[in-house]
Amino acid sequence: MAYRITKAKTHHAYDRRIKSGQRITKAVIPAAGLGTRFLPASKAQPKEMLPIYDKPAIQYVIEEAVAAGIQDILVITGRGKQAIENHFDHSIELEETLREQGKRAELQAVQKISNMVNLFYVRQKEARGLGHAVLCAKSFVGHDPFAVFLGDDIIDHPRPAIRQLMQVWQRYQAPVLAVEEIPRERTQAYGIVKPKPLSPRLFQVQDLVEKPRPERAPSRLGIVGRYILTPDIFGCLEKTKPGAGHEIQLTDALRRLNRRRPMYAWQFEGVRHDIGNKLEFVKATLAFALKDKAARPELLEYLRETVNTLCS
């Protein structure tokens, strides 16, 4: 089911105590970016709708959320993003045509997309950064803890990455960030945490720095596109001034929040596909195509022939 938020509501009691054992059932997916790195493909088509093998990129992210028990998802959109709403809505004409043609498998596939989760939409009216996009979810979140998924990161693992973060949440009832060890020379592309090791893969966050130079990075643990946040992040976002790139950075707000409450980082299990650029997008497409047992033999043969031709 799809819904649209048309009027903002104001909440003030965001600092109240989170109930013990409260589950994460809400998620936010920022999807308002212009996708300029994918031009001209993204000129009239949202980059989130570009297909990775047999489904649009954003569907992988939503399927991860659903597999982890998320019930309600807010997608932060912008102008020209109607294709996202259309994809997850019912297409009566298409469904009727498939039914008449006896294409049951195809009909079930498109109906599953429309029925998998409650989807809500709101527009980010100005391109003011990831922090501002998350702030647009304030009315939707209310007083509940919530997950944030970034569509540029697809994480492949039998146990959903956000489910892994949820298990940390259940133990500490505190914000949890997904992190990955990255090359030292890539720190300027990430928010970096200063970690205090607690157990294998688990760290308490002592500090966070947005896009530091390699020589100033406090570690090689970069924050990637999965978060569990508490609603008091909104007060921090409202006080955060534009930072790197003249945008409101989520990492800067998290740093402010970390001064008020403990925060944790989880080095997730799984293969992360960073589809924020064309080359990595192609790699992700190949990775998921090779998981298709029917397509894998022919695709492998094609790749062998291509490599032999290029190397001869």
Residues whose CB falls within 8 Å of the CB of residue 272, separated by 6 or more in sequence, listed in order: 153, 154, 155, 156, 180, 224
Q: What's the pLDDT at 18?
A: 54
3-state helix, strand, coil in the chain (%, to 5): 40, 25, 35
Q: What's the pLDDT at 244?
A: 65
The series of mean pLDDT values per 10 residues for the chain, 312 residues long, is 41 47 91 85 89 94 96 92 92 93 93 92 87 94 95 94 96 96 93 95 94 93 96 94 80 92 96 92 96 95 94 84
pTM exceeds cut of 0.75? yes
Q: Are 149 and 27 in contact (CB under 8 A)?
A: yes
Domains defined along the chain, listed by start: 24-292+300-307 (3.90.550.10)
Helices H / strands E in the chain, number of each: 11, 14
3-class SS string, 159-216: CCHHHHHHHHHHHHCCCEEEEEECCHHHHHHCEEEEEEEEECCEEEEEEEEECCCHHH
- Bond prior to 231 in cis (omega within 30° of 0): no
Please state, in angstroms and rounded to a whole number, the distance separating the CA atoms of residues 21 and 34: 38
Please state, in angstroms and rounded to a whole number, the distance separating the CA atoms of residues 162 and 128: 26
Q: What's the pLDDT at 112?
A: 92
Three-state secondary structure call for residue 4: strand
Long-range contacts of 167-171 (CB under 8 A, 24+ apart): 168/202, 168/228, 168/264, 168/266, 169/24, 169/145, 169/228, 170/21
Q: How is residue 242 annotated by DSSP?
A: P
Q: What's the pLDDT at 245?
A: 67
